[in-house]
Amino acid sequence: MASYNKVILMGNLTRDPELRYTQGGNSTAICKVGLAVNRRYKNQQGEWVEKPTFVDVTIFGNRGEAFEKYHRKGATAFIEGRLELDTWEDKNSGQKRSKLYVIADNWEFTGGGRGEGGGGRPGKEEDRVGWGSQGGGGGGRSQSQDGGGGNSGGGGSYGDYGAQPAGDGFEDTPF
């Protein structure tokens, strides 16, 4: 029997990511987040209605650590992964319980530049270089409107690759 288990979601975080580690010598990072994905449709009266679906997502390892570092409640996130079903017996009632959630295999920064950030943490002044804080995630320049290098919640999508050049970053583009 053929099967295919792939989920692609884009929505907003309902809470700050929660990062924990497994016990033992080679501990593994486990990042848990809540994601709200909206479905927008017209009702019978012709009015637009948004219906949210709330999805729990788990991200393991280095990807989980990086996600927690650059995302906060309200930030937009794009996540690729697979569905997983956990089942257990309730200790109090003895009833069988189950929960369907997403195990993320990959995630991408989303959002635009100029204050439409991807949920980066506000950085310390000494962490701000050129394009805002390194803790960004907006996918573009994130300078404050006064032209300074302050953090407006975005930042580049460069993660841990280091500081970005001053200017618009396109000086060597051949067109």
Q: Which domains, and CATH codes, for the chain?
A: 7-108 (2.40.50.140), 110-166 (no CATH)
- pTM for the model stands at 0.62
* C-alpha to C-alpha distances, 10 to 35, 60, 109, nearest whole angstrom: 8, 19, 10
CB 107 within 8 A of CB 82: no
Check if the beta carbon of residue 129 is closer than 8 Å to that of residue 164.
yes
Residues of the chain with pLDDT under 70: 112-175
Q: What is the mean pLDDT of the chain?
A: 75
pLDDT of residue 80: 97
* Eight-state DSSP code of residue 18: E
Contact 39, 53 (CB under 8 A): yes
For residue 116, the number of C-alpha atoms closer than 13 Å in the C-beta half-sphere is 8
Q: Phi and psi of 33, rounded to 5°? A: -135, 155
126 phi and psi angles, rounded to 5 deg: -75, -15
Q: Residue 56 in contact with residue 99, Cβ under 8 Å? A: yes
Q: Residue 26: what pLDDT?
A: 86
At residue 131, the pLDDT reads: 35
Nearest to 76 by CA among 110, 39, 120, 29: 110
Longest CA pairwise span in the chain (Å): 68
Question: pLDDT by residue (tens digit) across 92-105?
Answer: 999 999 999 999 99
